[in-house]
Structure 1
Amino acid sequence: MLAGELMCGICGKLNFNREKFVESALIRRMMDMIQHRGPDGHGEFLSGPVGLGHRRLSIIDLDTGKQPMSNEDGTVWVVYNGEIYNFQELRIELEGRGHQFKSTTDTEVIVHLYEELGDQCVTRFRGMFAFALWDERRKHLLLARDRVGVKPLYYTNTGKSLLFASEIKSLLVDSDVERRVNLRAIDRFLTYYYLPGNETLFESIFKLEPGHYLSVQDGQISVHQYWNLRFEIPSRPRRFDEAVDVLQTLLSRTVKDHMISDVPVGVLLSGGVDSTGVLSHAVQHTDKPIHTFTMGFSGANFQDERPYAKVASQKFGTVHHEISMSADDFRDFLPKYAWHMEEPVCEPPAIALYFVSRLARESSVKVLLSGEGGDEAFAGYQTYRNLLILEKLKSAFGPAKGVLRLGFQALGYTGWKRIGNYASLVNPTLAEYYLSRTATPYTPFNQYKPELYNEDMSAFLDDQASGDISRRLFEQMNSQALLNRMLYVDTKTWLPDDLLVKADKMTMATSVELRVPLLDYRVLEFAASLPLHYKANGWELKRILKAALVKSVPQEILNRKKTGFPVPYDSWMRKDMKDFVSDTMLAINAASDLYFCKEAIANLLQAHQQGKGCSKEVFSLLVFELWHRQFVSASLQSFESAR
C-alpha cells in the first residue's frame, strides 16, 4: 500500500445564501490562477451554494487519486493539498470500523475520519496539509491547515460568501473580493521584513494560521486552534546519550516517511548540517538513485556552498546537479518573484530556491527533501547563543550594566551589529531584543523610516504597534526559559510566515513538491521536551542534532560555521542592478508614492550605494513596488494574463 498522494492547489467558495449557486466558470478561473501548483489535471465539485476546485500534481497513486473525492455515498467531499504520513495506520483503523475505500490515497482517510470525529479529525493527522471539506448533510464547511504551516491556506469573507484558496491570486478573480491595501500591514512588513500572524497586505484576506481549523455553519465562521508547541521537560529527562539514540531513530523514521513516492526523489543540498543529515538518512531508505541539487552564484568573491554540497554528494553517491545564478537572472526574475510570493517577503534566497527547483523539474524530479526547520527545532541560530551569553553577562555585571552597555556599543561599531543593536536599547525587554535582531527600528532603517512615510500614512500609523505579535508571543511564554521563548516565537512567526511560505511558493511555482522532514511535529515536540543544554551549550549550537549525525555527516560540514544561504543580492543591487533598482523605485507615479516620500527613498538608495547597509530595506521596498504594480494597480485583465 502506498502512502501519500500529491501536491496541488485547492480553492472554493461557499455562498451564505443557499439559494445562490456557485458558478462553474468562477471555480475554473480560480483553478486556472494556480495551474502551476497542479499541471497534471483538475477537478471540481458543485452543489448549489458550494463549489470546490482542485489542481493536481501527481506524486502517488497516479490513476485513482483524482479530486475532489468523496465518501461512499457522496455526502462528504474534500479537496486537499499535502501528505498525511500516518494514513496507513488510520486507514486500518477506519476499515475496522466498516469504512470502504476506493483508492490507495491518503485523501480518502480525511473524509472517513471526519465521519468518525467531525472537525476534530485534524488532531489525528501527521503530515503537511491544507484541505477543505464539505459536509452535504450538515451544510458544513471545514478548512484546516497543518500544525507547523508547511502548506498555505488563505480565505476571505465578502459578507455574502467565504472563499478560500492555496494562493491569494486565486481569491482575487472573484469581483466581490476587494483589493484594498492593509496599511497597518505595510508598516508591519517593514518592521519584520515579512508578515507574521494571520494578516496579509489585503484588508479582507487572511491566512488560516498553522495548527488551526476554520468551520462555517449557517453563515457563522469560527476559527479554532487545535495544536500548539509546548516546552514540557520531564522531571526525569533522558540522559544525553539516550536522547541521541531516540533522535536518531526518530529522524530515520521521519525521513523514511517523507521518501515515499512513485516519482524520483531529490534532496536540496545547502552545504550545511541539516540538509546533509536529511540526505544521510534518505539514502538508507531507497534502492533508487537519489538526485541532489545545489546553487552557486556567478561573479568573483561570492561565498560558494557548492564545494560542501559536492562533499556530501560524493560521500553518499548521489546523482549531483549544480546551477549558477547571475545578477541578470536575479533581476529578471524579480517580477515573477513578486507574482508567486504574493506578498513582499524580504527573502532573496527564495529566488535561488526557484532556480534550483526548476533544475530539479528539468531533471524529472518532482519531489525534493529539504533540511528546513533544524535551526528552529534544535537552536541553530547564532542569535540564540548571543542573547543567552549577553543575559548571563548582564546578571554578572549587576550594578555595572552601564559599563557593559558601552562595551557592547563598541563591539557594534566594530561590526558586531546585533550586539550593537542590543546595546542601543535602554533597559530592553526580551521581546524588544527579539525585534532588534533584524527588525526596525533597530537596523539601519531606523535612520530613514521616520521620514519614509508620507503625511497620510504617518497620520494613520500613529500609535500603531507593528511589533506587537512577537511581544504577545513572548508574554505567552513568560514562564519558560529564555531559549525556549526564542524558539517558540520563531516557530510561530519566522518559520511559517517567511521560511515556509518561501519554500512552498517557489517550489510550487516550478510544479515541484518540497518536503521538510525536520518539521514533522514529532521532531518538534521531541526537541521541545529536551533540557536546554542538549540544544545550546555555551558556544555550541544544535548540540544533540550534531551528536545524532556525527557518524554520518562529513566532519568538514559538521564543524563548519553556519552561513545560511548567502545570495549576494547586496552587491548585485549596488552594482549590476543599480539602474534597475533606481528606475523602479523612483519611477514617475510609482505605486509606492501612495505611501512613501520619494525623497526618503532616494536618500535610502544613496546610503545603500555608499555601503551603509540597508540592503534588506532596499530589497523590501523594491519587491513592495513590484507587488503593488501586479496585485493592486493592475487591471483584472492584465492581472489574470500575468500568469
Structure 2
Amino acid sequence: MAGFALAWSRSQGALSFARLTSAAPASTATTIDDTVFAAADRARGLELAGIWRADNGADLIRELGLPTASRPQDILAAGWSKWSTGLADRLRGPFAIAILQRDTNSLYLARDFMGVEPLFYTRTADGLALSSSPVAARSLADAPGAVRLAAVSSFLAGFPADKTGTYYDNIARLAPGHWMTISPAGERTEPYWTVQAIASRPAPADAGERFRALLDRSVANSASDAEPIGVLLSGGLDSSAISGALMHGRTGGPAVQSLSLTYPGNEGWADGKYIEALRAYFPMEHHSLPSNEHDPLANLESYFPVLDGPSFGYGLSVSNRLLPMAAELGCRSLFHGHGGDEVVSYGTGRLNELAMQGQWRQLWAEAEGAAQLWSMPRWRVLDRYLFHKPQRRWLDRQWKRLHRRAQADSAAELEVQSEALLAHRPAHSAPVAQLSQARHTERDVQETAIASPLQPHALETLVLSGRHHGLQVKLPFFDRDLLEFSVSLPSDWKLRDGYTRYVLRKAIEGRVPDSVTWRRDKNDFTDDFKIGLIERSPHLRDLVSSANGDLQGLVNPQWFGKIWSKVAHDGSSITTSDARALWRVAVLAMWLGSDRRPQAPPRLQPIGVEGNV
C-alpha cells in the first residue's frame, strides 16, 4: 500500500502522520507518493496532511497572491484561511485532505469530486484516525471491528449499499464530493458537488475540439509526475483517446509502454485488429499478455489485504495481471481508460427522447449505434421504444394477461432468481436502471451512471491495486472540468448519425487510426468470464458449497442445490446473472476464509517532526 495515515487527538489538539509505502518488491518498487504532504503552518495555526495533485495549483497561486514556488500545502493553508469549508470546491485534481485549525481544535476533511483518491476513517476514543488505505485505517482503530452484514448482503446481491460504508462496522469512507468538519460545536458533513447540479447548455459548434482540449489538459496533468509511463491499450475508444492525447506532441522522455490483454483463438474477440492498428500508429514499446484461458478467481486473495474486502470487479483477476507486468517494465504510472463510458456516455437515452417526440424516422437512423452496442438487430432496438405508441401498449397488456403464467415459468427456468440467494435482505434495494423508465432522457442515464455507488468502489479498487504494485493508476476521464463539459452537452453530441459517444469520436479524429475512431463494435467478455469460471476455477465447488461454514447464515441453503443443478444442465452457458452470483459467492467465501486480522499500525509522528515532513 502507499499513501498516508493520520490521527487526530482531540485531547491534544494535534495531528500525527505517517507515509505509507508500496508493498511492491524492492526491485520494482517506485516512489509514488510525491503528492503526499504533511505540514504545520504556525502563522495561521494550522496542521495539514493528505494527498493532492494540484492540477489548478498555478491558478490558485495567482488568485491567492502566493509566491510562484508555493507548495500544495501552502496553497491549501491560504485557501482554507480565505474560503473555509468552500476550499474543496476550488480544488482540481485527485485529493484527500485533512486540515486542523488548532485554536478551535476543529478538523476539516475533504475528498475529490468523484473519489479518485480514497479516504477512510475510524472514530477513536480520543478523536479520529484516517487513511488513504482501508487496511491502515482499520489498523488504527480502537478495536478490530465486526464484519457488516449489510455490506456482505449487498455484495452478494451485486450492488454496493452506499458510498460511505465498508465491510467493517467501525470503518467508514468520506463520500466523494463531500467535506466533513468535527469541532467542539458538533459534526457536519456536506456535499460540495453533485452531477445533478451541472447546468445543461447549448453545445458550442466546436464541441469536439473543446472536448479534445480538456482531455489533453487532463492527460498532461496526469503525466506531470508520472514518468516512466505505461498505458493500458485495449483497442477501445477510451484507451485510444488517452494514448492519442499522451503521444500528441510528445518529445523526449522514456519510451511509453503499452500493455494489452489479448485473446488469441477466441472467435468473438473483436479488439485484436484495433490493437494492431494502434501499435502501428503509436511509437510505443508494445507488450501483450494472452488471457484467453484465465480463471476469474485467480490471485484475488492477494488483493484482500489491500482492499480490506471483496471487490465488485468481475474482470479484476484478469485485468490486474497487467499491474506486475507494468512494474517489471519500470513504469511509475499506468494510464487507464476507466470512466470513459460514464463520462462520455453512449447516448442511448437519446433514442427514448426521439420516441417521446414521435421522431420515429430519426430514431430508426440512430438505432444502428445501439444495435451494434447491444448486439441485436436494429428492428429490435426500435421495438424497445414502441411502447410510446398507445396501440403497442394495448397489445402489450393483452399479451401479458394471456401469457403471464407462461412467462413466469420461463423466467424461473432461465436463472436462479437473485432473492433466492440471500439469507438476509440488503438494507438498500437494487438501483432501477434508467433505461427501464418510460420517460427517461439521455441526461437521466448519464447522471445515474456517474452518481452510482459503484463508482467510488471501482475507483478505490483501481487505485489501491495499482499502489500495491508501486504504480500510480491515472484516470484522465475523471477530470472535473472534462466531466462537467461532457454532461452539459445535448444528447445529439452523445449519439449522432448512428454513432455512439460521438463527441469523443470527433475529439480523437485524426489522432488515432480511422478504423478505431469509427468502430461500432464493442467486445463482450461475458463468455470468457463464464467459461473461465465454470471450466477453469479448480476450487469453485469447494468454495460455493452449503458445507462451507463461512457462508452459513449469509447464503440461502436451498440456493446451492439450485445453482449447481443449473451448472450441471447448462455448463458455461448458464445465464450471466447466475455466473456473476456464483463468482460473488466464491469471492466472499475466499475473503471470509482469509486472514482478516488487522495489520500492524503505521508509526505516526506529530506533524512537524524532522524527517517526517
Question: Normalised by the shorter chain, which TM-score bucket?
Answer: 0.7 to 0.9
Which one-letter code corresponds to 1:523 in the other structure? L
Distance in 2 of aligned mates of 1:175 and 1:627:
20
1:548-575 deviations in Å (ceiling 9; x for gaps): 2222222222214122666823111111
The counterpart of 2:393, out of the listed 398, 401, 417, is: 401
The 8 Å contact of residues 120 and 173 in structure 2, kept in 1 or not, is answered as yes
The reply on whether 1:350 has 2:316 as its aligned counterpart is yes
1:441-486 deviations in Å (ceiling 9; x for gaps): x9999734333344xx36xx6xx5423xx46x97xxx999521111
Distance in 1 of aligned mates of 2:397 and 2:227:
56
> What TM-score do the two structures reach when normalised by structure 2?
0.80
> What TM-score do the two structures reach when normalised by structure 1?
0.76
1:484-521 deviations in Å (ceiling 9; x for gaps): 11111110116623432332122122121112222211
The counterpart of 1:623, out of the listed 575, 587, 596, is: 587
Report the 3-state secondary structure (helix = DSSP H, G, I; strand = E; otherwise coil) of the residue aligned with 1:156. Answer: strand
Deviation at 1:593, TM superposition (A): 1.2
Which one-letter code corresponds to 2:521 in the other structure? K
Structure 2 gap ranges (5+): 356-380, 603-613
The reply on whether 1:245 has 2:237 as its aligned counterpart is no
The counterpart of 1:86, out of the listed 56, 70, 75, is: 56
The residue that corresponds to 2:23 in the other structure is 36
Distance in 2 of aligned mates of 1:375 and 1:303:
20
The 8 Å contact of residues 608 and 615 in structure 1, kept in 2 or not, is answered as no
The counterpart of 1:525, out of the listed 484, 498, 502, is: 484
Deviation at 1:338, TM superposition (A): 3.3
The residue that corresponds to 1:215 in the other structure is 181
The residue that corresponds to 1:257 in the other structure is 221
Distance in 1 of aligned mates of 2:585 and 2:349:
25
The residue that corresponds to 2:127 in the other structure is 161
1:354-381 deviations in Å (ceiling 9; x for gaps): 2212211111111122222222122227
Superposition map of 1:342-381 within 5 A: 342-380=308-346
Aligned residue pairs, count? 559
Deviation at 1:147, TM superposition (A): 0.7
The 8 Å contact of residues 267 and 279 in structure 1, kept in 2 or not, is answered as yes
The residue that corresponds to 2:200 in the other structure is 233
Which one-letter code corresponds to 1:238 in the other structure? A
The residue that corresponds to 1:435 in the other structure is none
Structure 1 gap ranges (5+): 1-6, 41-54, 410-419, 426-441
Greater per-residue helix proportion? 1
Which one-letter code corresponds to 2:416 in the other structure? Q
The 8 Å contact of residues 179 and 192 in structure 2, kept in 1 or not, is answered as yes
The residue that corresponds to 2:373 in the other structure is none
Distance in 2 of aligned mates of 1:193 and 1:113:
37
Which one-letter code corresponds to 1:449 in the other structure? S
Report the 3-state secondary structure (helix = DSSP H, G, I; strand = E; otherwise coil) of the residue aligned with 2:114. Answer: coil
Root-mean-square deviation (CA, aligned residues, Å) is: 3.9
Distance in 2 of aligned mates of 1:298 and 1:443:
36
The 8 Å contact of residues 278 and 513 in structure 2, kept in 1 or not, is answered as yes
Deviation at 1:542, TM superposition (A): 0.6
1:284-311 deviations in Å (ceiling 9; x for gaps): 2431332211112577557364542232
Distance in 2 of aligned mates of 1:445 and 1:215:
50
Distance in 2 of aligned mates of 1:568 and 1:117:
51
The reply on whether 1:485 has 2:444 as its aligned counterpart is yes
Deviation at 1:172, TM superposition (A): 2.1
The counterpart of 2:574, out of the listed 588, 609, 612, is: 612
Distance in 2 of aligned mates of 1:188 and 1:318:
42
Report the 3-state secondary structure (helix = DSSP H, G, I; strand = E; otherwise coil) of the residue aligned with 2:240. Answer: helix
The residue that corresponds to 1:436 in the other structure is none
Deviation at 1:342, TM superposition (A): 2.8
The residue that corresponds to 1:513 in the other structure is 472
Report the 3-state secondary structure (helix = DSSP H, G, I; strand = E; otherwise coil) of the residue aligned with 2:60. Answer: helix
The counterpart of 1:283, out of the listed 225, 242, 247, is: 247
Cα distance, 1:161–1:263 mapped onto 2, change above 3 Å: same
Cα distance, 1:309–1:109 mapped onto 2, change above 3 Å: farther
Cα distance, 1:245–1:573 mapped onto 2, change above 3 Å: closer
The residue that corresponds to 1:49 in the other structure is none
The 8 Å contact of residues 374 and 380 in structure 1, kept in 2 or not, is answered as no
Cα distance, 1:451–1:352 mapped onto 2, change above 3 Å: closer
Report the 3-state secondary structure (helix = DSSP H, G, I; strand = E; otherwise coil) of the residue aligned with 1:270. Answer: coil
The 8 Å contact of residues 347 and 500 in structure 2, kept in 1 or not, is answered as yes
Distance in 2 of aligned mates of 1:377 and 1:444:
37
Superposition map of 1:262-341 within 5 A: 263-288=227-252, 289-297=255-263, 301=267, 303=269, 305-325=271-291, 330-341=296-307
Which one-letter code corresponds to 1:315 in the other structure? Y
Percent of aligned positions with the same letter in both sequences?
19
Deviation at 1:278, TM superposition (A): 1.3
Distance in 1 of aligned mates of 2:598 and 2:226:
39
Cα distance, 1:56–1:151 mapped onto 2, change above 3 Å: farther
Relative contact order higher in (CA < 8 Å, ≥ 6 apart): 2
The 8 Å contact of residues 231 and 484 in structure 1, kept in 2 or not, is answered as no
